[in-house]
């Protein structure tokens, strides 16, 4: 199981005065997005291309009918979460695990 560091989005997004239910995602969806972000962050830490993984996540979320506000939230959440771990050290075995995790995740998102 992936350990997902906790981050705060307070102040990361501008104030929103519309329907909050349309902007934010469910707790389960947020957890899943954080998990995908950890995979991207580990890939980046290991020198792998994380962008196809991020693009697959965003395409998946858009295909599920997310609003523009939700897509913005998902993008910021992913970016902050992945940035929180992208500078961690990476061994050869971690690199291989990260490569497999990225590919498996992309396949799952399609």
pLDDT at 40 over 50: yes
**What is the end-to-end Cα distance of the chain in Å, rounded?**
21
* pLDDT band at residue 13 under the 50/70/90 scheme: low
In this prediction, residue 44 carries a pLDDT of 96
Dump pLDDT digits (tens) for 20-37.
Answer: 555 578 889 999 999 999
Residues 6+ apart with CB under 8 A from 107: none
Residue 62: predicted pLDDT: 97
Tell me the Cα Rg of the chain.
Answer: 14
What integer pLDDT is reported at residue 24 of this predicted model?
Answer: 78
More confident residue, 15 or 71: 71
Share of the chain above pLDDT 90, in %: 71
% of the chain at pLDDT higher than 70: 79
Sorted by where each begins, the domain ranges of the chain are: 23-109
Residues 73-95: pLDDT tens digits?
999 999 999 999 989 999 999 99
């Amino acid at each position: 199981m992936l350990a997902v560091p906790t981050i705060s989005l307070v102040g990361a997004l501008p104030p929103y005065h519309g329907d909050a239910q349309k902007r934010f995602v469910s707790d389960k969806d947020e957890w899943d997005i954080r998990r995908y972000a950890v995979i991207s962050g580990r890939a980046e830490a290991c020198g792998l291309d994380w962008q196809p993984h991020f693009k697959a996540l965003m395409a998946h979320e858009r295909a599920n009918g997310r609003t523009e506000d939700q897509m913005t939230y998902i993008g910021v959440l992913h970016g902050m979460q992945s940035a929180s771990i992208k500078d961690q050290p990476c061994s050869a075995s971690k690199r291989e695990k990260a490569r497999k995790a990225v590919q498996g995740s992309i396949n799952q998102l399609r």
